[in-house]
Structure 1
Amino acid sequence: MARARQGNGRSVQFRHRMEGLTSRVEGHRHAFGNLTDLFIPEDGRHRHTFQGITTTADGHRHSYSGQTGLNIGFGPNHFHRFRIQTNIADGHRHIICGRTTGLIRLRGQVGHRLIIESIVRESVKK
């Protein structure tokens, strides 16, 4: 996560939002949503770490964590692609993939708990 200080001394964070649906496995899929975490510089470009928990579907949910691909484009409108497998739950795993949004600006401390709690209550069966 990239950080900057505003004139009033408050911390401002720049992250990307990631959201979507997992691959369909055993007749169901899950929704996921999170913000990227750490900023990892790499040869003049960068990537981010991320983690989250899917919504509950078919009586279970999956945790996941990984790294985005390198930035595509530069400046505030750049984005990242991602593709990973979730952890195993109920004997299987799902693929999550997609692209992040452009940069979003957050003030103060923001944790995954806010995002996870808002999506875990939903149920997705498609």
Structure 2
Amino acid sequence: MAMAKIRQGSGNGGPVQFRHRMEGLTSLVDGHRHSFGNLTDLFIPEDGRHRHTFRGITTTADGHRHSYSGRTGLNIGTGPNHFHRFRIQTNVADGHRHIISGRTTGLIRLGVMVGHRLIIEKVVRQRVK
């Protein structure tokens, strides 16, 4: 069986976005934790600084999962290496909540490609051993 490896060109895509990655484990409640991971959403300017909104769904543990949403704290530092702290409670599931807390990564750059502008330069077939 052969697999196709696709190399993408630098088409004339949409705008570049800058976000922060958030990931970690929830607090321990009822003998279990959940993993979470998401990117920040909206940029909210505030008195010469800023914060971001975020939302996500935890992994399943003990037969359930939790959704969550909130705002980060104000930026700490400036430029591409700044970060944000966050601490919120998840929504209730299976009769309880967890706390999600930590700090974001520095900025990550996302290039947004519009589907019809994706350029496939080359397809290489490789054998799977």
| Shorter-chain TM-score above 0.5 | yes
TM-score band, normalised by shorter chain = 0.7 to 0.9
Query: Could you tell me how far apart the structure 1 residues matched to 2:64 and 2:102 are?
Result: 22
- Root-mean-square deviation (CA), in Å? 1.4
Give 1:1-126 correspondences, 5 Å limit. Answer: 8=12, 10-108=14-112
Partner of 1:118: none
Query: Could you tell me how far apart the structure 1 residues matched to 2:19 and 2:65 are?
Result: 25
TM-score by length of 1: 0.79
4+ residue runs over 2 A deviation: none
For the residue of structure 2 that corresponds to 1:90, the secondary structure is coil
TM-score by length of 2: 0.77
Pairwise CA distance, 1:9: 5.8
5+ residue gaps, structure 2, are 1-11, 114-129
Identity over aligned pairs, percent: 87
Query: Could you tell me how far apart the structure 2 residues matched to 1:36 and 1:92 are?
Result: 25
Structure number with greater Rg is 2
Q: Could you tell me which amino acid in structure 2 is paired with residue 18 of structure 1?
A: M
5+ residue gaps, structure 1, are 1-7, 110-126
Number of corresponding residues: 103
Between Structure 1 and Structure 2, the one with more strand by share is: 2
